[in-house]
Amino acid sequence: MRKSPLLSRRTIPLTLLAIMAGWTSVQVPASAATLEITNVSLGVGSDQTQRNLAWYSSANDTEVAQLAPASAMTGTDFPVFSAKSFSTSESGVSTASNYFEHATITGLAPNTTYVYRVGGVNGWSDTYRFSTQATDDQTNFLFVGDPQMGSSGNVTNDQAGWQTTVTAATAAMPNADFLLSAGDQVESATNESQYAAFLAPSELKSLPLATTIGNHDVGSRAYQQHFDRPNVDGTYGAASSSSQSGGDYWFTNDNTMFLVLNSNITNNDAHKAFLQQTIAAHGAESKWKVVVFHHSIYSTASHAKDSDIIARRAALAPIFSDLGVDLALMGHDHVYTRSWLINDGTVAEDTTKGAQADLKAKSGQVLYVTGNSASGSKYYSLSGSYDWTAATNQDGLPSYTKVNITASAITLETVRTGDGSTIDKTVLQHADETKPVITLPAENTVTYGSTFDALTGVSATDNTDGDLTGSISVTGSVNASAIGDYSLVYSVTDAAGNTTSATRNVNVVAGNLTAANPSIAGQVAVGLTVSAEAGEWTPNASFSYQWLADGAAISGATGKTLYLSPNLAGKTLSVQVAGAATGYTTLTKTSPNYLVAKASFGKKAKPGIKGTLRNGKRLSVKVGTWSPKPSFSYQWYANGKAIKGAKFSSLKLTRSVVGKRITVKVTATKAGYATVTVASSATSKVKR
């Protein structure tokens, strides 16, 4: 019996099929897609069972990532009913004024091919696919230096060069787990066309990316919107501002831990803390530790001489050696360089034998590799000879590095994109050794003038020889009578000849002065001079002064004494005394407040009245002699009652005052002096 066409799957609405099948978590696209999905970026996850996805969307919709086994595909239709949906982990307005979305795909099985898409009910991206590799205790990846789209001034040409390298590299290593970039994906951190060029190769929709923040990426939030990195720590390597990208992150793949640093941030103590905490928590799960950062500290082009690179080299190399890092992958200098094995910043190989293809690294010895341009957008010339260089190349051709990591070795082969010819190849293995362990004190701050013993709290042990503390030697010293940073290198050798070294940075810091509050000596009144009394200080110190009026510094008032000028009258006076002594932090103490009293006139006079006491005549005031000379105001009186408007130094007599006695009051004012009012004697009666 034929089925009714009304029951045909083709004619049942897709949403109804989803409900019938119980796929309540699957989002089904609308018949008319309105959503534009761009810049889909497939990234590594926390480990090989995860993938991180990032994409840009034209609308602020609720979106998901959908994943299905590729075996469920029939034709070009995405297998909705075999798919799992993964909600976005982060989303928001992008720097391109659309929306960015991040989602993490979990639960991936090994040796499996999947299809995926991103979007929502208003539209979906194209369908892409990727394959997971077999669980074989191996990690295979492609390493590239500075693609830097737009660096040549021609984004189209840079994209073409990048595409050529990606195509050649993925063909040369079809079983790669991911592609690792050493940073500077773009020339301009805000240029979306450059990001589009970087993400353009179709291979990158199948091969996960692990990117590093370069100095050309950091200046915008676009980098961290385009790439959803796993395990990002916002505390360490944090962005310098809210408009920049930042953060250190890490992931594992089979036998290897990758720790990716934002080297734009030069707080190396923070990077060290990130490495220490991450390795302590997860390092035991991996055979190898690979650190990745952009600013190469062991290259052979011009950046090698930059002051910031020199500072990073001094700070980071000992950290990597101390924490057991095996390999450091870097960019920035647009030249290929492989270092000798470096231990605590010092070459640890016999360089007289020349660069070796097979390296056996002892504990603390790190191999540093700098990648050349992967796109051909920019190259730097070799800038000289450096004692850390085992192999270097600058032939002005794009290149990439194939990296294979097994339980016993890391093999790196750097090849030219064009013909696949080898530039350099080396195999890195762990030397068969068991080293003594040196334990250093956590406290590395010494107060000026105290006693410091470099061996106090330091110990060394060996699995075979036991306690070797008595055999520790120390290079360097700490002068507790000189403030500054000191470096001590501790070394110990066991009976088998295995040597361990550890660097300790000790900081001699200033001591603290003690003192009582200062005081002000002398009468605090205008026209007088006062002095600052510093009081007792321990130890003895030299002093500087700053006088304050109403809490604000008096310009130029920096002596031990201060003449109290009239403008200070009525204000509160105090003095700051700053004590300084060699080896001690300068201490500033402030005296109590003192009210500045006004001065009194040294000489004052009773006013007199001059003139004829007759109606129509004019009287005038004789103020007498005052010291210092003030300003005067006046008020005339008739029989003791103020005459309205009579506030001048003279008075014209009118009929209203006939028969009355005239007096005048003179008020003397001067800045910084107490105001004084003096009355004259009364006159005889005014005549008609």
How confident is residue 32, by pLDDT bands cut at 50, 70 and 90? very low
Question: pLDDT at residue 3 above 50?
Answer: no
By C-alpha distance, which of 164, 188, 245 is closest to 212?
Answer: 245
User: What is the overall mean pLDDT for the chain?
Assistant: 92
Q: Which residues sit opposite 633 in a β-bridge?
A: 667
Q: Are strands 37-44 and 51-57 parallel, antiparallel or unpaired?
A: antiparallel
In whole angstroms, how far apart are CA 114 and each of 73, 160, 252, 275, 529? 10, 28, 21, 33, 89
Measured distance CA(355)–CA(125) in Å, rounded: 49
Dihedral sign for Cα 509, 511, 517, 522, please: negative
Give percent of the chain with pLDDT exceeding 70: 95
For residue 466, list its beta bridge partners. 462
Q: Which stretches of 189-345 are assigned E, i.e. beta strand?
A: 209-210, 249-253, 256-260, 288-295, 327-331, 336-339, 342-343
Separation CA 236–CA 271 (nearest Å): 6
Query: Does pLDDT of 18 surpass 70?
Result: no
- pLDDT for the residue numbered 22: 35
| Amino acid found at 147 | P
If pLDDT is split at 50, 70 and 90, which confidence band does 1 have? Answer: very low
pLDDT at position 280 is: 96
Question: Which helix (H) or strand (E) is 17 found in, with range?
Answer: helix 14-21
Give the pLDDT band of residue 464 (cuts 50, 70, 90).
Answer: confident
DSSP state of 410: E
Q: Which tokens belong to 353?
A: 């034998």
Angle among Cα 353, 367, 472 to the nearest 5 degrees reads 85
- What was the pLDDT predicted at 7? 26
CA 525 to chain centre: 53
**Average pLDDT rounded to a whole number, residues 302-318:** 97
Q: How far is CA 359 from each of CA 297, 321, 388, 499, 681, rounded to the nearest angstrom?
A: 20, 16, 15, 18, 114
Nearest to 345 by CA among 321, 370, 328: 321
- Cα(325)–Cα(275) distance, integer angstroms: 10
Task: Calculate the alpha carbon distances from 273 to 321, 422, 503 in Å.
Answer: 14, 38, 16
Given phi > 0 = left and psi -120 to 50 = alpha, else beta, which region is 155?
A: alpha
Give pLDDT, residue 494: 87
Q: What is the pLDDT of residue 431?
A: 83
Measured CA to CA in angstroms, residue 36 lies from 55, 90, 100, 191 at distances of: 10, 18, 12, 19
Q: Do domains 5-131 and 608-679 have the same CATH topology?
A: yes
Cα 508 from chain centroid (whole Å): 26
**Residues 6 or more apart from 543 whose CB is under 8 A from it?**
534, 560, 577, 578, 579, 580
Q: Which residues pair with 579 in a beta bridge?
A: 543, 587
> How is residue 413 written in tokens?
């082969």
**DSSP line for 166-218:** HHHHHHH-TT-SEEEE-S--BSSTT-HHHHHHHH--GGGGTS-EE----TTTT
Q: Which residue, 568, 574, 526, 571, is CA-closest to 548? A: 574
Question: What is the per-residue pLDDT across 574-591, written as a single tens digit (0 to 9) for each?
Answer: 999 999 999 999 999 999
Q: What is the end-to-end Cα distance of the chain in Å, rounded?
A: 146
Query: According to the model, what pLDDT value does residue 602 have?
Result: 84
Which DSSP category does 279 fall into?
H
Binning pLDDT at 50, 70 and 90, where does residue 68 land? Answer: very high
Q: What percent of the chain has pLDDT over 90?
A: 88
Mean pLDDT of 610-621: 94
Residues 410 and 287: beta-carbon distance below 8 Å: no
Residue 324: name the closest of 433, 238, 230 by CA. 433
Beta strands in 510-582 (DSSP E): 511-512, 514-515, 519-521, 529-533, 537-538, 542-549, 552-553, 561-563, 572-580
- Do residues 42 and 204 make contact, with C-beta atoms less than 8 angstroms apart? yes
Residue 20 has pLDDT above 90, yes or no: no
Q: Which of 493, 518, 488 is nearest to 504 (CA)?
A: 488
Separation of alpha carbons 555 and 576, rounded Å: 13
What pLDDT does 435 receive? 87
Q: Is the pLDDT score of 194 beyond 60?
A: yes
Residue 353: DSSP 8-state = G
Question: DSSP letter at 285?
Answer: G
d(CA 641, CA 682): 12
Q: pLDDT for 527-565, tens place per residue?
A: 899 999 999 999 999 999 999 999 999 999 999 999 999
Residue 16 is predicted with a pLDDT of 31
CA geometry: angle at 565 spanning 562 and 571, to 5°?
Answer: 90
* Sequence spans of domains, the chain: 5-131, 139-223+235-430, 437-506, 512-595, 608-679
Pairwise CA distance, residues 469 & 441, whole Å: 13
- 657 conformational bin, left if phi > 0, alpha if psi -120 to 50, beta if neither: alpha
CATH, domain 139-223+235-430, list 3.40.50.150, 3.30.1050.10, 3.30.160.110, 3.60.21.10: 3.60.21.10
pLDDT at 429: 95
CA distance 670 to 187: 70
What class does CATH assign to 608-679?
mainly beta
pLDDT of the residue at 529: 95
Q: Which pLDDT score is estimated for 285? A: 86
Residue 31 has pLDDT above 50, yes or no: no
The mean per-residue pLDDT over the stretch 171-192 comes to 97
CATH among 3.65.10.10, 3.30.70.360, 1.10.150.20, 2.60.40.10 for 437-506:
2.60.40.10
Residue 465: predicted pLDDT: 86
Mean pLDDT to the nearest integer, 143-151? 98
Residue 54 near residue 43 (C-beta atoms within 8 A): yes
- C-alpha triplet 629, 630, 635: angle, nearest 5°: 135
**Under a CB-based contact definition with an 8 Å cutoff, are residues 147 and 182 in contact?**
no
Give the integer Cα–Cα distance in Å for 95 and 186.
15
- Rounded mean pLDDT, 651-668: 94
Q: In whole angstroms, give the CA distance from residue 644 to residue 250.
A: 91
pLDDT reported for residue 4 = 29
d(CA 44, CA 167): 19
Nearest to 256 by CA among 367, 407, 121: 407
Q: How confident is the model at residue 107 (pLDDT cuts 50, 70, 90)?
A: very high
pLDDT higher than 60, residue 2: no
If phi > 0 it is left, if psi is from -120 to 50 it is alpha, else beta; for residue 615 that is beta
Q: What is the mean pLDDT of residues 317-339?
A: 98
pLDDT of residue 680: 92
Task: Look up the CATH number of domain 512-595.
Answer: 2.60.40.2700
Residue 25 above 50 pLDDT?
no
Write down the CATH number for the domain with range 5-131. Answer: 2.60.40.380
